[in-house]
Amino acid sequence: MALQCDVTTSDGIVVSDAYIRPKFEVRKKVDEDDVKTAYLFVECEVYQSQALANAHGSRTLQVLDVDRFKGAWDSEGGGLEVQGYALMKAQPALADATDV
């Protein structure tokens, strides 16, 4: 699963239909009161196209708006991918993204 949308690189170059492949991870943090909180982290690899994403050695694009996200993890809220994609689609930079 991945997303596709127009992005602007950190150098100001507009890339139409960039291919965004996410990695999801849940990390737990213990605060000062010994309370554990779980967070969902989404790290995105952004490529110029899906073909380049699947090519060995392709370079990722630097897109600060789409680089990584952090949100609350809900153990009852569905699987990792379900919550990860929901978090991604809630980001303003990915509001017009389509599933690919």
Sequence-separated (6 or more) residues with CB below 8 Å from residue 20? 2, 3, 4, 5, 7, 44, 45, 46, 47, 66, 88, 94, 97
User: Encoding tokens for residue 8?
Assistant: 């602007």
User: Encoding tokens for residue 56?
Assistant: 């060995």
Contact assessment for residue 73 and residue 40, using Cβ atoms and an 8 Å cutoff: yes
pLDDT digits (tens, 9 = 90+) for 15-68: 999 999 999 999 998 888 888 889 999 999 999 999 999 998 889 999 999 999
pLDDT digits (tens, 9 = 90+) for 69-97: 999 999 888 899 999 999 999 999 999 99
